Amino acid sequence: MFDSITGSLKGIIGKIRHQDDVASLNRATSELKKAFLKADVHHKTTKDLLNSIEIETKKLGIGQNNFIKVLKQELERVLTANGNQGFVFASTPPTVILMTGLQGSGKTTTTGKLANYLKVRNKKVMVVACDLQRLAAVEQLRQIANQIDVEIYFDENEKNPIKIAKAAVEKAKKEHFDVVLVDTAGRLAIDEELMDELKDIKNGINPNEIFYVADSMTGHDATKTAITFKEKIGIDGVVLSKYDGDTKGGVALSIASQVEVPLRFIGIGEKMPDLEVFIPDRIVSRLLGLGDIAGLAEKTSTIFDEKKAKEVSKKIKKGEFNFNDFLEQLSMMSKLGSLKSIIGMIPGLSSAMPALKDMDFENSVEIKRIKALISSMTPKERENPDLLNPSRKKRISSGAGLSEVQVNKILKQFKSASKMAKQLSSKGGMKGLHNMLS
Ligand code: GDP
Q: Is the beta carbon of 262 within 6 A of some atom in ligand 1?
A: no
86 belongs to a structural domain: no
Nearest residue by C-alpha to atom 27 in ligand 1: 270
The predicted pLDDT at position 244 comes to 82
Band of residue 11 on the pLDDT scale cut at 50, 70, 90: confident
Asked if residue 286 belongs to a domain, the reply is: no
Ligand 1: nearest atom to the Cα of 101: 3
DSSP states along 109-160: HHHHHHHHHHHTTT--EEEEEE--SSTTHHHHHHHHHHHHT-EEE--TT---
Q: Are residues 20 and 75 in the same domain?
A: yes
Residues 304 and 274 in one domain: no
What is the total count of domains within the chain?
3
Claim to verify: residue 256 and residue 116 sit in the same structural domain = yes
Q: pLDDT per residue over 276-301, tens digit each?
A: 999 888 778 777 766 555 566 666 66
Residue 176 has pLDDT above 90, yes or no: yes
Angle between helices 22-38 and 43-60 (to 10 degrees): 150
Quick one: 255 and 373 in the same domain? Answer: no
Are both 111 and 232 inside the same structural domain? yes
Listed residues 279, 308, 341: the one ending a domain: 279
What separation in Å is there between the alpha carbon of 218 and the centre of ligand 1? 13
DSSP state of 21: -
pLDDT at 363: 66
Residue 31 Cβ inside 6 Å of ligand 1? The answer reads: no
What is residue 236's predicted lDDT score, i.e. its pLDDT?
Answer: 95
If you average pLDDT over residues 54-80, what whole number do you get?
90
For residues 226 and 305, membership in a common domain is answered with: no
Average pLDDT (355-380) is: 75
Look at 67 and 337; give whichever has higher pLDDT: 67
C-beta of 299 in contact with ligand 1 (< 6 A): no
pLDDT for position 392: 93
Task: Report which listed range, 28-32, 58-62, 205-209, 364-368, is most confident.
Answer: 205-209
Kindly state whether residues 220 and 114 are assigned to the same domain. yes
Is 269 a pocket residue for ligand 1 (Cβ < 6 Å)?
Answer: yes
Least confident of 62-71, 102-111, 330-339, 390-399: 330-339
Inside any domain, residue 85: no
Pocket of ligand 1 contains residue 111 by CB under 6 Å: no
CATH code for the domain in which residue 19 is found: 1.20.120.140
| Cα–ligand 1 centroid distance for 286 (angstroms) | 22
91 assigned to a ligand binding site: no
Considering the domain architecture, whether residues 53 and 137 belong to the same structural domain is answered as: no
Residue whose CB lies within 8 A of the most ligand 1 atoms, among 194, 247, 266, 270, for a mutation test: 270
245 lines ligand 1 (CB under 6 A): yes
Lowest mean pLDDT among 63-77, 179-193, 210-224, 305-319: 305-319
CA of 103 to the centre of ligand 1 (A): 10
Does the CB atom of residue 267 touch ligand 1 within 6 A?
yes
- The reported pLDDT for the residue numbered 419 is 73
Same domain, 10 and 126: no
Report phi then psi at 164, rounded to 5.
-60, -45
The answer to whether position 292 is within a domain reads no
Classify the complex by whether its ipTM is higher than 0.90, answering yes or no: yes
Measuring CA to CA, which residue among 140, 171, 137, 133 is closest to residue 153? 171
Greatest mean pLDDT range, 73-87, 202-216, 340-354: 202-216
What is the pLDDT at residue 47?
A: 95
Is 35's pLDDT higher than 70? yes
> What does the pLDDT read at residue 434?
41
314 versus 268: the higher-pLDDT residue is: 268
212 is known to lie in a ligand binding site? no
CB–CB of 394/333 below 8 Å? no
Are residues 111 and 70 located together in one domain of the fold?
A: no
Q: Which residues is 267 bridged to in the sheet?
A: 275
Stretch 134-146: mean pLDDT, rounded? 92
Q: Which of 232, 231, 182, 175 is nearest to 209 (CA)?
A: 182
45 Cβ below 6 A of ligand 1: no
pTM above 0.90?
no
Highest mean pLDDT (candidates 40-44, 70-74, 79-83, 167-171): 167-171
CB distance 246 to ligand 1 below 6 Å: no
- Per-residue pLDDT at 423: 67
Residue 284: inside a domain: no
pLDDT of residue 220: 87
- Report the CATH number at residue 212: 3.40.50.300
301-303-308 Cα angle (round to 5): 85
Integer CA distances (angstroms), 438 to 193, 287, 348, 358, 433, in order: 55, 19, 7, 21, 9
Distance, in Å, from the CA atom of 72 to the CA atom of 80, rounded to the nearest integer, reads: 12
Of 180 and 375, which is predicted with more confidence? Answer: 180
Residues 205 and 303 reside in one and the same domain: no
DSSP assignment letter at 243:
G
Of 14-23, 49-58, 74-83, 327-336, the one with minimum mean pLDDT is: 327-336
Give, for 308, the enclosing helix (H) or strand (E). Answer: helix 306-318
Residue 18 has pLDDT above 90, yes or no: no
pLDDT at 412: 85
Q: Quick check: CB of 338 below 6 Å from ligand 1?
A: no
Q: Is 294 annotated in some ligand binding site?
A: no
Distance from residue 361's CA to the centre of ligand 1 (Å): 19
Residues 406-438 pLDDT 10s = 899 888 877 777 776 666 555 544 444 444 333
Query: What's the CATH number where 355 sits?
Result: 1.10.260.30
Which residue's alpha carbon is at the smallest distance from atom 13 of ligand 1? 106
Q: Determine the Cα–Cα distance for residues 116 and 148; give it in Å rounded to an integer.
A: 6
Are 28 and 157 members of one domain?
no
Given a cut of 70, is residue 267 above it in pLDDT? Answer: yes
Arithmetic mean of pLDDT, 319-331 = 74
142 part of a folded domain: yes
Q: Which domain holds residue 159?
A: 95-279
CA 296 vs CA 7, 148, 276, 287, 346: distances in Å: 22, 21, 10, 16, 8
